[in-house]
Structure 1
Amino acid sequence: MNIVVSANNNEEILVFPVVPTDIELSNPQNNIEFQTINKGTLNLIGDMGLRTLSISSIFPTHNYKWLKTGSSSNGWEYVNFFNKYRIAKLPIRIIITLKDGSEWLNMPCTIESFTYSIMRNEDIKYTLDLKEYKFVKVV
């Protein structure tokens, strides 16, 4: 599995050095529940909501042999990338591919939350929360 993030139409691309063991994608549906006089509770099927993704792992600051090909051992590059695009209020794109090369997720998103801390060995432990971003065309 590989995780790649990009910004500004691939102007800046980063390969995650470590893929977490579990990645959970939430795909909500905005159903509406209401009470009727005779039928009790009804549930109307709504539109799909915005998908969310949470990733927790480490950004290494040492050149380990097990890092993903194309990634960086400078964990601060990743921290700076996410902080830069949060401050700029620009969406990024996350692409997750499976071992066979097939695409599991390709989603433009906003950075909802990014927390990180420095571990004793100076690697950076982080949690990144992303939410789907839909581009709006103004006509």
Structure 2
Amino acid sequence: MLQVFLSINNNEEIIQLPVPPEEYEVPSPWKNEQIDGLTQTLNLIGTRGLQSIEITSFFPAEGHDYPFLQSREMWGMEYVDAIERWRERRYPIRVVIVDESNKRKNVNLAVTIDNFVHGIKKDGDIHYTLQMSEFPFVSTKKRS
């Protein structure tokens, strides 16, 4: 069973997505560079890039109390309003994905919401896609 949580400011507010995505991917890029030499191409190992994650699902409209919902704390546009309010604060968001069937696939990332696309379906439910990128915290501590 997959569960997805979003939080802001060290769990000041937490949202559990009522309908988790059926699937997700977390690309982990590496910024390698290829250089063409006279007789061969070289591949220089670079630094790790930022991970990203995209979630597509829906928020049920009020009164659509589906039996598979994992959270009933909010309905429809309340989720949209909360996410937009968080984005306005300009703080990183934490996304936590717990996969009880495979503990090795759990995700716990500080992210920025790069794009939030949502629209109302005919039945009133709100279909959405959240595109997020890793937010690395900058350390000011001197390494020894």
Normalised by the length of structure 1, the TM-score is 0.90
**8 Å Cα contact 1:15-1:71 kept in structure 2:** no
Partner of 1:67: 69
Deviations 1:85-134 (A, max 9, x none): 22221110000011248361000000000000001111100010000001
Partner of 1:48: 48
Look up the SS of the partner of 2:133 in the other structure: strand
Q: Distance in 2 between matches of 1:14 and 1:53?
A: 17
**8 Å Cα contact 1:3-1:96 kept in structure 2:** yes
Q: Distance in 1 between matches of 2:59 and 2:139?
A: 36
Change (3 A) 1:31 1:119: same
Q: Distance in 2 between matches of 1:101 and 1:95?
A: 14
1:113 partner amino acid? N
The percentage of counterpart residues that share the same residue type is 36
Q: Distance in 2 between matches of 1:124 and 1:35?
A: 49
Q: CA deviation at 1:137?
A: 2.9
1:14 partner amino acid? I
Q: Distance in 2 between matches of 1:100 and 1:55?
A: 19
Q: Distance in 2 between matches of 1:83 and 1:60?
A: 17
1:124 aligned onto 2:132: no
Match runs of 1:1-139 below 5 Å: 1-38=2-39, 40-61=40-61, 62-68=64-70, 70-100=71-101, 102=103, 104-138=106-140
Work out the number of aligned pairs and report it. 137
Consecutive unaligned residues in structure 2, runs of 5 or more = none
**8 Å Cα contact 1:16-1:71 kept in structure 2:** no
TM-align CA RMSD: 1.6
